[in-house]
Chain A
Amino acid sequence: MSSIVDTLLSGQLLFAALVTGSLYALVALGLNLVYGTLRMLNVAHGDVVMLGAYGAYWAFSVGGISPIVAAPAVAALGALAGLAVHRGLVRRLFATAGAGSTRLEGNSLLLFFGLSIILQNAAALAFTPNARGLAYWTEVYHLGNVAMTGNRIAALVIAGATCIAVAALLGRSLLGLSMRAVIEKREAATIVGIDVDRVQAISFALGFATAALAGALVSMLEQISPFTGFPFTIAAFIVIILGGLGNLFAGLGAALLLGALETYGVALTSANMRSVLLYGAFVAALLLFPKGLFARRARAA
């Protein structure tokens, strides 16, 4: 028994929880941005993570470029992809369904679901469904009795710093102010002269960029395949339900909470309980905080 207490207090689990939590935070941030400003749930969000991971993988295995160096470029490509999706698909959806109509939400779900399947299978065709992985910065560092691999430290630092930077941007700048205005009251934002379309385009760019960045980090930690994106969509979805849809700052806290719940929960029970813990938290959040998803949806309609 004392060995379990030692494990819990060792700091090793805290590090694991922070790595998991910060990656969840980074992935969920983008999903939440897009949901907040457009009221669209991007089911293909995890697939952007997958593409980002492939970007870093190819940069590393063909060009010998470190995933950390490639990460900003991968994020920039992600931003371009986000703009393209917004311009090519989302605007058209608004044009045909009409902004604010109830059909829009259903249609957008179908649209992103289709996009997700297309991205997965296009990746399978282009890269083959082979699992891949890369070994970068695998040195192990010790801080007290905590052992940390270089690439996990890098993932934690970059994901954490990016989340803080985006939060600061949204908290302090005029762009952030207008984004939050669109998230909270879209119609009112239009009236006070905010270019909602532009805000939404930026949300897409930022959302895809952070997802692609998360992918570049993930490529160092685990194997990647065309189908590794979906679990990230699910994890991000749980995070934003826990934190509140459209509530960016609560989402960051919720991600860390989920990372801790997963890591410590598994240590106390068994790894087989992981899904029970994750979905249990998800269901509990929906039951205890029913105002999350559905209240907002009713108001938006």
Chain B
Amino acid sequence: MTTTLRRRELLLAAIAASTTGAYAQADAPVRIGFSMARTGIMAVATPPQQTTYDLWREQVNAAGGLDVGGKKRRVEFVSYDDQSKPEQAVRIYEKLITDDKVDLLLAPWGTPFHIAIAPVLEKYKFPVVGNTAASVALRQIKPGYLWFPTSAIPDRIGVELTAMMKAANVKSAAIVSNVLPFSKEIKNYLEPELKKAGIELKHTSEYPPDVKDMTATLTQVKQANVDAVIALAYPGDAILYAKQAKELGLTAPFQFIAIGPTAAFFAKAVGASSAEGVVTIAHWTPRPDWKGSQAFYDAYSKKYGEAPDYLDAALPWMSLEILQSAVARAGLDKEKIREIISKDTFETINGKVRFEGVQNVITPTAFVQMQKGKLQLVWPKSIATGAYEPKKGW
């Protein structure tokens, strides 16, 4: 009697275990969860992240699966639409952990979403390598379960952009800024740096995200007759800015557009000659000494018919490489994964990455410039793949 009972208990336990996945068999897929803004105001920005995740899953599965502590297991995604609402992302990550019981988690898109889910990860001790987030506010997140590979943090951008402008012999500048958080943050850190460096700020103005015409603003910029125009724009208004800068004939040789030019659609939307010479934020480009960077560029271009976004596709790929490397050694043990990510140095398509606290301390804050239709790292010199050239018209 007791033996049969025990046998039944064992059976039940086995069933329970297999459904929760705690003792999943080697051939059961690794389930990886994330939330994604597929609708709402952020939906326009998320595709590079989703396409990069999809490419990674395809490659990993084609290679026989994800190396989980020595065993190869197929990868399966569990994802939900967060409707561009951070509070919805919080609920989704809680559900992914407690209800779907996923094995691993990937990051959502954007700074507010990373910040929003940090307490959930802390609560359930679930490590996530972040990617598409950049803000000084990230440093306020309690270190432990969330890391940020990006080096495009606004205070460092302020310092480095000023240094680059100085090196390019810029004496005067104009800033036009979208009022959204990231661009305003850059503006707040850039203005005092320019002043310190003795670069005269002859015009500064802000505009709303739903701007439809910039004639009035850019006419004033033109009258200011400056060496550098710093357009702290988002992708949508970056297009409008470039088109109208051409119409009005802004001749400043140093043309910086904050977000947009790293995406393949930018050059298509404004025309190759307008995109040529534009400087923007990115710390990645394919280069021989960054292992896998060219392979990633080629695979992405082949699958999607356009180049990967130098920020929003490169960063997710880096985060996947870091997670993949940790899981290969730690298996699915969250604490071990956490320990490896917070201590080790990782080889990525962006070179070596090591975290101190929540931040990547190796990758330098950098800028790229469109040269002959390709983005080249032009700042800082230590990782440059090309030399900065003044922009010659639109």
Contacts and interface: CB of A to CB of B under 8 A. Distances in A.
B249 A135 contact: no
Interface stretch (A10-18, A72-80, A184-192, A286-294): A10-18
A124 B43 CA distance: 8
Contacts of A16: 213, 215-216
Given A7-B219, A149-B243, A19 B213 contact: yes
B261 to A, nearest CB: 12
Contact of A271 (B47, B214, B249, B263): B214
Interface stretch (B5-13, B61-69, B200-208): B200-208
Contacts, number: 130
7 contacts: A12-B215, A16-B216, A149-B243, A221-B240, A266-B216, A272-B179, A272-B207
Nearest to B267: A135
B161 interface: no
A263 B270 contact: no
A270 interface: yes
Which size bracket describes the interface of A in this complex? 35 or more
A149 to B, nearest CB: 4
Interface string B316-353: 00000000000000000000000000000000000000
Contacts of A19: 213
Interface string A206-243: 00000000000000011101110001000000000000
A132 B267 CA distance: 10
Contacts of B271: 135, 138
A131 interface: yes
B43 A133 contact: no
Chain A interface main SS type: helix
A167 B247 CA distance: 31
Interface string B236-280: 100110010011110000000000000101001111001000000
Contacts of A129: 38, 43-44, 46-47
B302 interface: no
A223 to B, nearest CB: 4
Contacts of B220: 3-4, 7
B1 interface: no
A196 to B, nearest CB: 37
